[in-house]
Amino acid sequence: MIDFDNIPDAPGCYLFKDDSERVIYVGKAKNLRKRVKSYFQRNDLDPKTEAMVQRIDSLDFIVTDNEVEALILENNLIKKKKPKYNIDLKDSKRYAYIELTDEEFPRLLVARRRSGTGKFFGPFVSAATRDYILSTLNKTFQVRTCKKMQKKPCLRHHINLCQAPCAGKIDRAEYSEKMKAVELVLKGRTDELVRSIKREISEASAELDFERAIRLRNQIEAIEWLKEKQKMQLSKRYDEDIINYTIKNGRVYLILFNVYKGTLENKQEFEFDWSDKFLEEFLVQYYSENIVPSEIILPHEIDNSLISFLKVKRGGKVSVRVPKIGEKKQLLDLVMKNIEASFFSEIERLEDLKRKLHLTKTPIVIECFDISHISGTSTVGSMVRFRDAKPDKNNYRRFKIRTVKGIDDTRAIAEVVRRRYTRLLREDSDLPDLIIIDGGRGQLNSADTELKRLGLEIPIISIAKRLEEIYLPGSTSPLRLPKKSKALKLIQEIRDEAHRFAISYSRLLHRKELLR
């Protein structure tokens, strides 16, 4: 079950995964929470999307600063992950660039790849925007467009759109000056051109030529797109890692972005105990097993000895940057935004659960039990473990019920609780901070009795499906949490996962019985 409250109201990309953690779909959104929720609220999905939704087991997301970055990041992730339910656009490898060709009299072309000896600007997410810019620059600076230069001027020269270098109407030096101006505009220095077009707009308005004024206004909007910082796809020829972290309650929460040739292709999350030299220890461990890029962006300086270690591992120069302003600082801030979205929404849910249940400590480890059967046969128990409000699937357990015949959930719950914690005590393993039972007061009392027999004092609750009421040992009336509270949504998510796990095991046993 996906907890929608854990998804931020921010632009970015979402990655749907199946039960084997394989990415099956990558999408972009202006508002991540609203977009993801729409998949589970609509009843008019096409067959392909409906099949995809049925396979969704978990979700990951990457927050961006704006929708443009989300578009480019989506493109990169699709090419990296190759998800089953995304369209495979084999003929469109990337968003297009504008190329300033390396010719005696250069031209402006649309380029799908950064190859050749020309200069490339972009990429441009919107084809319409790119074409506006290309057309505006060609007209404003009278750039030649012919593939082969003829010996006589063409129609474009006669309508004042080209100065006919083919016929010697402009020399190479003067033409080069025009191309320098074009290059400055493509690099984002558009003020001069915008002022010129605004004067044309004023003239068109004075002449009541509003259609022309609108076209010119659209050209200005297109040029302004050049100023949009597309941090997700930088025009670089080297690899870099961007690392940022925050510390809370003695724990380090760290995210690393891998950027390859200017393309963000991976996000890695890490969480570990704080120590004086935690960043240095992390860098040594991580880069002992992973490729060292040519540039690493960090939030603070590191020792020269560590930089030397990175150079040895790479076998070449490594640049370690600690930006205070500019584009690289914005990238560090973007990583921090993802840290807050990825880690602390979970901590907020756990803290809310602690407050609502009046627990003495935050329930970092939660275990939940459920019973499932098919008409009284193939009765099984399930136990799922959540750590830091996330499924810890390596510690899921399932039980064949041995001591109960027929339908008796209270006795079945007692059996699985007894077996689970007898074993943990025998192995001297860590105990959970909270136990959840899927059921009402009867199931809760049965499980609580087993805990007391084992001499355990672990907080335990149960949740009844009909009214989603919470039962606590010794309480005369159930606890009703607000429907939108983070605590209730977390309890429901854990309960639903235990229920799913129990049903899948019960059906497996039933199929085996039928085969026999």
- Please calculate the CA angle 494-495-501 and round it to the nearest 5 degrees: 90
More confident of the two residues 11 and 151? 11
Residue 374 predicted with pLDDT over 80:
no
To which residue do tokens 């949504």 refer?
A: 489
Local confidence band at 445 (pLDDT 50, 70, 90 cut-offs): very high
- The per-residue pLDDT for 332 is 93
Instruction: Please tell me the distance from the alpha carbon of residue 459 to that of residue 354, in angstroms, as a whole number.
Output: 11
Over the stretch 83-141, which tens digit does the pLDDT of each residue have?
888 765 443 334 577 888 888 888 888 887 777 788 887 666 556 667 777 887 887 77
Compute the average pLDDT of residues 339-343: 85
- 24 token code pair: 């099956």
Instruction: Count CA within 13 A, CB hemisphere, residue 189.
Output: 6
Question: 63 vs 274, 340, 398, CA distance in Å?
Answer: 25, 10, 36
Return the minimum-mean-pLDDT range out of 219-223, 386-390, 444-448: 219-223
Compute the average pLDDT of residues 162-171: 81
Same fold, 4-81 and 240-343: no
8 Å CB contact between 399 and 380: yes
Residue 267 predicted with pLDDT over 90:
no
Task: Identify whether 123 is preceded by a cis peptide bond (ω within 30 of 0).
Answer: yes
Structural domain boundaries in the chain:
4-81, 97-227, 240-343, 365-515
Q: Which bin fits 376, alpha (ψ -120 to 50), beta or left (φ > 0)?
A: left
Architecture of domain 240-343: 2-Layer Sandwich (3.30)
- Give the predicted TM-score (pTM) of the model: 0.50
More confident of the two residues 68 and 240? 240
- Give the closest residue to 470 by CA, choosing from 455, 491, 490: 491
CATH match of 4-81 with 3.40.1440.10: yes
Residue 263 predicted with pLDDT over 70:
no
- Give the closest residue to 179 by CA, choosing from 121, 239, 237: 121
8 Å CB contact between 300 and 333: no
Cβ neighbours around 247 below 10 Å, total: 11
Mean pLDDT computed over every residue of the chain? 83
SS3 of residue 265 by DSSP: strand
- The per-residue pLDDT for 89 is 45
Over the stretch 190-234, which tens digit does the pLDDT of each residue have?
676 677 778 888 988 888 888 878 867 876 775 665 555 434 444
More confident of the two residues 276 and 330? 330
Query: Looking at domain 365-515, which of 1.20.990.10, 3.30.420.340, 3.40.1160.10, 3.20.20.60 is its CATH number?
Result: 3.30.420.340
